[in-house]
């Protein structure tokens, strides 16, 4: 934990991702954002260091609206990732697909956790039905992750 002024900063990945915040990770298509986010989420779910930085063990959830199941399985195989009690992926291959970050199911799950989760949203564009070129519509969409962040979850958004 660190302090900034009178606010305490609880790190999920020390110096990179703070609890109760929304982060956006950007780069060019195909650069590996989904792979990077999966690795970080997995390390956090096990309380293992990531890139030499300590993590705070907590449940991790990937809300994947972008990658097919075969793509996720291939990434997990390469990285040695296995789903477990504190690491889950919701994707379009499931009957109802992944819920948005402010869905009642997600908010209820967050409330039940003593350790607040690390949630990856992949990709924001796939979850946002509005035009990404319309600032008003995009701003409205970005209000949705504020609810889980306000419940102390850490969110990582991938464009």
Domain of 84 in residue numbering reads as 2-158
- pLDDT tens for 68-83 read 999 999 999 999 999 9
Mean pLDDT of all residues belonging to the chain = 92
* Cis amide prior to 7 (ω within 30 degrees): no
CATH number at residue 141: 3.40.50.300
Bridge partners, 17 (sequence order): 13
Nearest residue to 47 (alpha-carbon basis) of 59, 36, 35, 55: 55
- The total number of structural domains in the chain stands at 1
Question: What integer pLDDT is reported at residue 3 of this predicted model?
Answer: 64
Residues 6+ apart with CB under 8 A from 14: 53, 54, 55
18-34 pLDDT, tens digit each: 999 999 999 999 999 99
- Please give the pLDDT value at position 159: 87
pLDDT beneath 50, residues of the chain: none
């Amino acid at each position: 934990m660190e302090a900034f002024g009178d606010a305490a900063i609880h790190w999920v990945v020390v110096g990179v991702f703070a609890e109760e915040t929304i982060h956006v990770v950007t780069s060019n298509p195909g650069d590996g954002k989904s792979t990077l986010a999966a690795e970080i989420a997995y390390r956090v779910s096990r309380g293992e260091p990531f890139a030499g930085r300590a993590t705070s063990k907590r449940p991790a959830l990937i809300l994947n609206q972008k990658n097919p199941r075969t793509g996720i399985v291939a990434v997990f195989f390469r990285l040695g990732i296995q789903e477990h009690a504190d690491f889950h992926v919701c994707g379009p291959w499931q009957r109802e697909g992944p819920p948005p970050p402010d869905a009642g199911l997600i908010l209820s799950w967050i409330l039940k956790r003593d350790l607040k989760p690390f949630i990856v949203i992949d990709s924001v564009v796939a979850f946002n039905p509005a035009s990404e070129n319309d600032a008003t519509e995009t701003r409205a969409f970005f209000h949705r992750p504020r609810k889980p962040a306000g419940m102390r979850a850490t969110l990582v958004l991938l464009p």
